[in-house]
Structure 1
């Protein structure tokens, strides 16, 4: 269970998110200064949780999800009732409609439990969806409701509706609570309560080192040495799931107690989140992979070794000695991290906590493959993480986040007041520093691709940017790192100028990429206002009566070629 220190850390992290969002969005200082600290923390809490659940990292994208009436009224002067729904995320790939109800408490109360009332409040909006009645819904929420109804009612696709009840209360609602089950059955949705304990798992603060001891049968371990003269060995082991729970628990005594006879001490332990600090994915609250893992643990625990890819650990040192007249092997794994298999590990611990009998009835019958590498150099650690992370379809972008040039960019941009988010949850290298803005690695790749001459591809070929085109953008001979901060700041300037000075035009990333292309590739002009006028004139001239819409025009090679051929003609007219 979480404690008051977790509560304080989340408050500090939420405030950090608020500071990043207010600077990135260019919110006026008078507005920021008028807010109470609790409001700043609450708004930052929205971003913190939404990034963790949706896996979106761009502040602009996350802002578009927020429907909370107070947030939109203060930041954007748009007043509309939110009917208990503070954010909405429609996942087109997974066919999920995710609704969020947030509450943020100012004071910690260890005995305070989440209230069912928050769920009931949110049913006002859900009733509108069920009854197909959006007449009373205004603004952003009204448009979202129409979109949701179209998907749920008019589409042939099967969509899942999920309601997240999120706050910083210490005790979460039980998902087995009868009232919750009744509401799920009534509305055909899944209700997911998230409280302080789960949120505290997201904290990305460099942890204390974790070490553990193991005793294995000799036939359960295999060693590997890179060369005959190398003294460094790595190991592949067959480990009981109960031992895995023990060595990754938050009890130092238990991690070193390898001859436990009473399994009850293991059935009540928590996962030490410190072992996942360097995990490639970052820590996320939602995973589509853990359902199958839980099912295997319960239905076929003895086959878990065959069905699961296992875990990859790195350690600063691995001490091995034979015991029991050579029949067994003792391991001391010093300062280890789980680089691959984090979702498997979390699911095993969650399954263990669901009932005291789960350890004896299921988990004790299962084993898992574990690879342990001795690695002290960062480059080697990153390569191990990159090449072993094939389970659960790790994205090419996640894998590239471990490349040396990405760490160099992170450090360089940090020195220039920019948070370069390589993975979920990044809020800067220093908690004491005030940053100007935050940008994801993915978005920066799109910016570089546009400046290289491909603005029409930047918005819809994101995966190829980090695959086929990666070396041409980020390679040692192609990336001019000293221009990175200039490119990023120009991107945000373009966005703000569109919002503030060109309200007659609809701004979009596709357009921002073209403006960057005109400024840095075609070297048209460094006056953003003039370049926007030229670009919008070209777009209007190219599509005077075109029915297919701007978005589809902007991804056409022919339009980009038209811009290239005609931009200077408009420049003369200014």
Structure 2
């Protein structure tokens, strides 16, 4: 692979970067958001806050799935090294987070909007604020000292009264190359890695026809493991990183950062379990691990990585590591499940084994033998299955929330769906046909959520790819309800059936998109008339947006007979559904 700096220099000359960002500094940050955080063009543009009064914050991105708020400061330098100035800028940004209202008051317009989004996200107590300092150079020793001091300060902060934890990570030229390589390899995330173990601190054996390494592994070797940050090291784990704001991870962090306690880390920790397809001994304590995957230790390794600068200085800190050569997939899955039962796992991480989900999975795969219902995080879809008939538990939950609960404003929050609303949402015996139909409708929506924008969606909607598609799914259900003079919820499969039979699938989606546009435009105009700031991300998370969408649908069909008699007739005759295919809305606590 070419040098990452050359890749960046070449790519930021593309029209997208030149036309949307005034300087190479912003272009570099946008490149990072697109290529490392994997945002699309509109999302990356929306994330950039750099400019006058940016308060040392160049970009803001809220990852709803990982529940992380990324605050990015970028420095595009072509020289060999960068001093401590950018580090102090990040510290300045962090210090202002104690008073978001004051920070917002003096910020530029883009940052004002982002701060409002941040405040809304932080109302949920499971978010982590992640400060990232990225540069194309190498940090000087003085800069590294400041980085170390800041990370230590964060680790010592008493955040018991806060609703969130804080992380600070730096990504220099080498870090960019590593991160970019990981992203490139995501399409083929098999990880191979060579570990170096110290003489007298490991043993090899064979148990149950399985090669085993048991080792006291230095913490500074742990941070060299590939795939921690992007999660590819934990594909077979029952969960990905939950941040460092829980009690156990806070204790791990404090032990690492305390020079008087880090020597006892080995005794405080239960250990980490990894499986490999093959273990090859190279001699002198070196082992080549093929198909490496950590099945127990995701939280610990992420926490260790978050303290990387201190870890590099801890020569006396070790952790118990177990490596098993397990090429059999079913046996590997069994080990993953059993090694995670000894520690507390949140409900949403274990829903894949609930009675409701297992019943639904069995029914779905019996109905669609060429399909697959992925219920576990990171579960790989078998190659012989038809992807059009493959569904995933997390997305099904979000689709059910938008359609049956009629709360698309809650669909983005996986935590609430699988904790607070799970027993309410999944109490029904959903038909496999309805699960497939929801996937079909959402797939059609996402196919149109492109740069070309065939649905003519408002720009604000296109930037909210993590939220707004569920509002469009909700609007589709409401179009069918309106066409049948119903206030209840239509069957997704019956909607798909009648729409397909009458060649109205695309027309229905276009009507729903038109109404969604009208709803957000009406809210924007209302804010302007009342001299209030309009923040799209807050609108889609508020229940009032549902009423706005329904009002827009009502208005659309009131004028349709006059505007388009042919379409009015098609809808009246083409989407009739028997009342038995309508059900009461799944109730949510509002």
Q: TM-score, normalised by structure 1?
A: 0.55
Q: TM-score, normalised by structure 2?
A: 0.53
Unaligned 5+ runs, structure 1: 52-56, 70-79, 226-231, 249-269, 321-329, 414-419, 423-440
Partner residue of 1:228? Answer: none
Indicate whether 1:490 and 2:459 are aligned. no
> 1:314, CA displacement in angstroms?
2.0
> 1:525, CA displacement in angstroms?
5.9
1:5/1:450 Cα in 2 relative to 1: closer, same or farther (>3 Å)? same
The answer to whether the Cα contact below 8 Å between 1:170 and 1:196 also exists between their aligned partners in 2 is yes
Structure 1 segment 22-33 matched on structure 2, within 5 A:
31=19
Indicate whether 1:44 and 2:44 are aligned. no
Secondary structure, aligned partner of 2:381 = helix
1:272/1:553 Cα in 2 relative to 1: closer, same or farther (>3 Å)? closer
Partner residue of 1:261? Answer: none
The answer to whether the Cα contact below 8 Å between 1:67 and 1:85 also exists between their aligned partners in 2 is yes
Partner residue of 1:432? Answer: none
Partner residue of 2:580? Answer: none
Partner residue of 1:166? Answer: 134
Aligned mate of 2:472, from 487, 512, 516: 512
Distance 2:298 2:460 in 1: 47
Unaligned 5+ runs, structure 2: 158-165, 353-373, 481-491, 527-537, 564-590
Distance 2:62 2:254 in 1: 27
1:443/1:9 Cα in 2 relative to 1: closer, same or farther (>3 Å)? farther
Partner residue of 1:273? Answer: 226
Q: How many pairs align?
A: 457
1:160/1:308 Cα in 2 relative to 1: closer, same or farther (>3 Å)? same
The answer to whether the Cα contact below 8 Å between 2:70 and 2:129 also exists between their aligned partners in 1 is yes
Aligned mate of 1:314, from 276, 292, 305: 276
The answer to whether the Cα contact below 8 Å between 1:316 and 1:336 also exists between their aligned partners in 2 is yes
Distance 2:380 2:443 in 1: 18
Partner residue of 1:104? Answer: 76
The answer to whether the Cα contact below 8 Å between 1:305 and 1:369 also exists between their aligned partners in 2 is no
> 1:531, CA displacement in angstroms?
3.2
Aligned mate of 2:111, from 128, 141, 146: 141
1:286/1:41 Cα in 2 relative to 1: closer, same or farther (>3 Å)? farther
The answer to whether the Cα contact below 8 Å between 2:211 and 2:279 also exists between their aligned partners in 1 is no
Give RMSD over aligned pairs: 6.5
Structure 1 segment 268-307 matched on structure 2, within 5 A:
271-273=224-226, 277-280=232-235, 292-297=251-256, 298=259, 299=261, 301-302=263-264, 304-305=266-267, 307=269
Partner residue of 2:192? Answer: 209
The answer to whether the Cα contact below 8 Å between 2:47 and 2:59 also exists between their aligned partners in 1 is yes
The answer to whether the Cα contact below 8 Å between 1:215 and 1:331 also exists between their aligned partners in 2 is no
Partner residue of 2:293? Answer: 338
1:93-147 Cα offsets, whole Å, 9 max, x none, are 9999764321234x4x5x4124415745985997796993866644222344578
1:89/1:319 Cα in 2 relative to 1: closer, same or farther (>3 Å)? closer
Structure 1 segment 199-278 matched on structure 2, within 5 A:
199-202=176-179, 203-204=181-182, 205=185, 209-211=192-194, 224-225=207-208, 232-233=209-210, 235=212, 238-242=214-218, 271-273=224-226, 277-278=232-233
Larger RCO of the pair (alpha carbons < 8 Å, separation 6+): 1
Distance 2:253 2:93 in 1: 33
The answer to whether the Cα contact below 8 Å between 2:74 and 2:133 also exists between their aligned partners in 1 is yes
